[in-house]
Amino acid sequence: MAAIEKPGLPIAARFVDEAADTEFLQSLGIRVRESRARRGMSRKALAVNADVSERYLAQVESGETNPSIMVLRHVAHALGISLIELLEPQHSSPEYRLISRFLEQLSPNRLEEALLRLMRDFGNEDASRRKRIALVGLRGAGKSTLGRALASELSLPFVELNSAIEAEAGMSLNEIFMLYGQPGFRRLERRCLENFIAQHESAVITVGGGIVSEAETFNLLLMNCYTVWVKATPEEHMSRVVAQGDLRPMEGNTEAMEDMRRILVAREPLYSKADFTLDTTGRQPEECLLQLRQAVTP
Higher-pLDDT residue of 193 and 37 is: 193
Element counts in the chain: helices (H) and strands (E):
15, 7
152 vs 293: CA distance, rounded Å: 11
Mean pLDDT of 145-159: 96
Other CB atoms closer than 10 Å to residue 174's CB: what's the count? Answer: 9
Residue range(s) in the chain whose domain bears CATH number 3.40.50.300: 121-296
> Nearest Cα to 157, choosing from 220, 200, 206?
200
> Nearest Cα to 137, choosing from 223, 240, 216?
240
Q: Report CA torsion sign: 53, 58, 60, 65.
A: negative
Q: Name the pLDDT band for 261 (thresholds 50, 70, 90).
A: confident
Residue range(s) in the chain whose domain bears CATH number 1.10.260.40: 9-93
Q: Report CA torsion sign: 32, 36, 38, 39.
A: positive
**In angstroms, how far is CA 107 from the centroid of its own chain?**
18
Q: Which of the four CATH numbers 3.40.50.2300, 3.40.50.300, 3.40.50.720, 1.10.260.40 does domain 9-93 have? A: 1.10.260.40
> Nearest Cα to 142, choosing from 298, 287, 259?
287
213-250 confidence digits (pLDDT tens): 888 899 889 989 999 999 988 888 788 777 765 545 44
Mean pLDDT of 124-138: 82
User: 141 a known binding residue?
Assistant: yes
User: 209 a known binding residue?
Assistant: yes
Are 18 and 1 within 8 A, CB to CB?
yes
User: 53 a known binding residue?
Assistant: no
Domain 121-296 has CATH 3.40.920.10: no
Higher-pLDDT residue of 8 and 51 is: 51
263-293 confidence digits (pLDDT tens): 888 888 889 989 999 999 989 999 999 999 9
Q: What backbone torsions phi and psi does residue 81 show, to the nearest 5 degrees?
A: -125, 170
163-196 confidence digits (pLDDT tens): 999 999 999 999 998 998 888 899 999 999 999 9
User: 123 a known binding residue?
Assistant: no
Mean pLDDT of 43-47: 89
Are 268 and 245 within 8 A, CB to CB?
no
User: 143 a known binding residue?
Assistant: yes
pLDDT of residue 251: 53
User: 186 a known binding residue?
Assistant: yes
- Enumerate residues 6+ apart whose C-beta is below 8 A from 96: 90
Q: Report CA torsion sign: 192, 194, 200, 202.
A: positive
* Cα–Cα distance list, 202 to 127, 198, 291 (Å): 11, 10, 20
116 vs 39: CA distance, rounded Å: 33
- Enumerate residues 6+ apart whose C-beta is below 8 A from 15: 1, 2, 3, 4
Q: What is the percent of the chain with per-residue pLDDT over 90, rounded to a whole number?
A: 41
Q: Name the pLDDT band for 123 (thresholds 50, 70, 90).
A: low
Higher-pLDDT residue of 239 and 59 is: 59
Q: Name the pLDDT band for 160 (thresholds 50, 70, 90).
A: very high
pLDDT of residue 208: 92
User: 144 a known binding residue?
Assistant: yes
Higher-pLDDT residue of 13 and 287 is: 287
Mean pLDDT of 113-130: 68
pLDDT of residue 67: 92
